[in-house]
Each structure stands twice: as C-alpha cells, then as structure tokens.
Amino acid sequence: MQKFQKIVSRIAMAVAAGALVALPASAHHSFAMFDQTKVTQMDQATVAEFRFTNPHSFVVVNVTRGGKSTRYVLECSSVNMMTRAGWRRNTLRAGDKVDVEFYPLRNGQPGGMLKTIKVTDGRTLNAW
C-alpha cells in the first residue's frame, strides 16, 4: 500500500509541476496589451521587416509624419493561420509600401496587433 501511495504522490507532483509550467504559456496569449476598441490606420507605411514565425509573426513598419520616422512593431497570428488567410513567407519585403490597420498598444507606444494590411499587389490580408 505504501508503494502505491508513493507512486500516486509522484504522479500528483508531476501533474502539478506540469500545470505550473503551462501557466506562462497560457498567459502568453493575453491580448490585454492591445486596445481592441480602437483601430488605427496608416497609409503608405514602409515595411522594415517581416518575421513569418511561430508562435506569432510580426510586421515591422516605418511611418513618416512631419519629417519624423517612427517604427511600429505589429503582432500577427501564427504561420499556420496566416497561410490559410493567403500569406506566404515572401508576401512582404523590406521597402514595400503598405496600408495597415491595427489595434494600438494601450500604453501609447508605437505598435499593436495588426488587423489588416493592403499589400503591393492590391490584396488586403487579415492578420488574425
């Protein structure tokens, strides 16, 4: 009986440890940092970088207003979901001019969650 209790105890500890490890992963998917009640639109942004990676892709654009350039990092969905929406690894290239709509960061920093992007061939792609 004591041997059985030790096995059950070890299994319980392993499950508890697994749950603790999983907590940061579930927290990663919070979208609280984005203000999804506001949509910001920027036309003729210049693509600086396109990271087509998991778990989330990113589009980095430079926006020039009044002679000042500001870099925006825009978070997107996973490669799998974006591929289903028509994205490819070569959809964007540095220097491309694009129109973007995104949910801004709540803290006012330049960046957000990309909603849609109009690419150079005229298509409008969803990022989520």
H-helix or E-strand containing 2? helix 2-28
Determine, yes or no, domain membership for 35: no
pLDDT at 8: 46
Range of the domain at 56: 40-126
**pLDDT > 80? residue 20:** no
H-helix or E-strand containing 27? helix 2-28
14 and 74 in one domain?
Answer: no
Determine, yes or no, domain membership for 109: yes
65 and 2 in one domain?
Answer: no
Q: What is the CATH number of the domain that holds 62?
A: 2.40.50
pLDDT at 23: 41
**pLDDT > 90? residue 17:** no
Average pLDDT over residues 19-26: 44
65 and 11 in one domain?
Answer: no
**Is 96 in contact with 46 (CB distance < 8 Å)?**
yes
92 and 49 in one domain?
Answer: yes
Task: Supply the mean pLDDT for the chain.
Answer: 86
55 and 16 in one domain?
Answer: no
52 and 110 in one domain?
Answer: yes
Helix, strand and coil content of the chain, in percent to the nearest 5, comes to: 25, 40, 35
Counting other chains too, the contacts that 53-61 makes at CB distance below 8 Å and 24 or more residues apart are: 53/79, 54/78, 54/79, 54/80, 55/28, 57/82, 57/87, 57/127, 59/92, 59/98, 59/100, 59/114, 59/117, 59/127, 61/98, 61/100
49 and 19 in one domain?
Answer: no
1 and 20 in one domain?
Answer: yes
Counting every residue, how long is the chain? 128
Number of domains the chain contains: 2
Residue (of 45, 60, 114, 42) closest to 82 by Cα position: 114
